[in-house]
Amino acid sequence: MKCLYITSVEPHSGKTAVCLALGQMMQSDGYKVGYMKPVSTQPWRTPDGKLADEDAVFVHSSLGLDGDPLKASTIIITASTLRERLKDLGEHDLVGDIHEAVKTAGEGKDVLLLEGGASLREGYAMGLSNLSVAEDLGAPALVIVPFRGDMHLIDDVLAARFRLGEQLLGVLINQVPESNRSFVDEYALPYFQAKGISVIGVLPVVPRLSALSVGELVNLLTAEVLTEGLDPDALAETITVGAMTADAALSRFRRYKNKAVITGGDRTDIQLAALETSTVVLILTGNLRPSPLIIQQAESLGVPILLVKENTMETIEIIERSIGKTRLGQPEKMETFLNLIAENADVASIYKELGLK
């Protein structure tokens, strides 16, 4: 069995998406794939109160793996486990638990994908840093590096090399804007090559991958759906606030396609302007219901209307806390990301490093 440790330099870099995409590609190539997340710092409670890692459950289930998806993450760090560690009260052999879990998850598999921490700083408090876990498991590490600026990119990649050393298989640069691609191609890639750092691929920014679906917005906002025929998989690529005059709103709305519009439930003029343009969902705030004519027109256009109790600013804050985390729950997103990896990443080099055909 071969292991591949996939981590990132900061949260919301696309690490979980890469795990899922590589897993599906390897399965398509005939390999038996396993997956687990050795350490999680994102405790999540299921509706029946069980502790798990939501991303790990999603990947395990999406790959159709055997076993309980709730156990896809071995060590889940909570506030209480951290306090026990700091008081030296923990008696469990955490490293031993991880080894046992890896043995179980990898049984009968050709490849075991190990999803690492959300940043290269994570895990030190528990004695389970990315470096120590990858080294202890003898797993080469693929590091996801999101583009945050020219110098930031160079520093992030060099920091990954410094921390992981020989354990570093390579880096995958993600979310590169078109305007910065020339710097990456002409300066960054030759520099990394001269330093002996393997760049597995460079992925461009694709707005739809970070878009929120209508179903996600309903759940996120605990919204009441006022219209019939809602498509939960419809994607809102941009979020626009309607708090201006109707003429200004119409001019602005025309510049954005596939958008969600947030406005007060009493702003009929803004609601009409939104419905005249490419709007995926209309979010009305303040628990103020629109006129029946607005609902009727929205239904005729196939635009769902969501009613939320919060005011406009509170609604924006709720959404902003969720933006940036790539979700592949919609088939369209999964297909887009698979194509993105296939077209822009040297997956063959990963196979070669792992000794796969």
The domains of the chain are located at 2-205+327-354, 211-320
Which residue, 311, 296, 314, 319, is CA-closest to 214?
319
Task: Say which DSSP state 286 is in.
Answer: T
Residue 160: what are its φ and ψ, rounded to 5°?
Answer: -65, -40
- Do residues 253 and 260 make contact, with C-beta atoms less than 8 angstroms apart? no
- Do residues 356 and 2 make contact, with C-beta atoms less than 8 angstroms apart? yes
Write down the pLDDT at residue 157.
98
Write down the pLDDT at residue 252.
85
pLDDT at 260 over 90: yes
Which residue, 234, 324, 325, is CA-closest to 278?
234
pLDDT at 263 over 80: yes
pLDDT at 178 over 80: yes
Helices within 47-204 (DSSP H only): 54-62, 79-86, 94-105, 130-137, 150-164, 181-183, 189-194
Write down the pLDDT at residue 9.
96
How much is the average pLDDT of 262-266?
91
**Which pTM does this prediction carry?**
0.81
Q: Does domain 2-205+327-354 have CATH number 3.20.20.140?
A: no
Residue 6: what are its φ and ψ, rounded to 5°?
Answer: -115, 120
Question: What fold, for 211-320?
Answer: 3.40.1390
How much is the average pLDDT of 231-246?
85
Bridge partners of 172?
A: 144, 201
Q: How many CA atoms lie within 13 A of 48 on its CB side?
A: 1
Q: How confident is the model at residue 76 (pLDDT cuts 50, 70, 90)?
A: very high
pLDDT at 275 over 90: yes
- Do residues 173 and 13 make contact, with C-beta atoms less than 8 angstroms apart? no
- For residue range 320-331, list pLDDT tens digits in order: 877 655 566 667
Residue listed under structure tokens 């679906």? 213
Write down the pLDDT at residue 210.
77
CA-CA distance, 134 to 7, in Å (whole number)? 10
CB atoms near residue 149 (< 10 Å): 11
Q: How confident is the model at residue 174 (pLDDT cuts 50, 70, 90)?
A: very high
Residue 177: what are its φ and ψ, rounded to 5°?
Answer: -65, 150
pLDDT at 216 over 80: yes
Write down the pLDDT at residue 10.
93
pLDDT at 57 over 90: yes
- For residue range 27-45, list pLDDT tens digits in order: 999 999 999 999 999 899 9
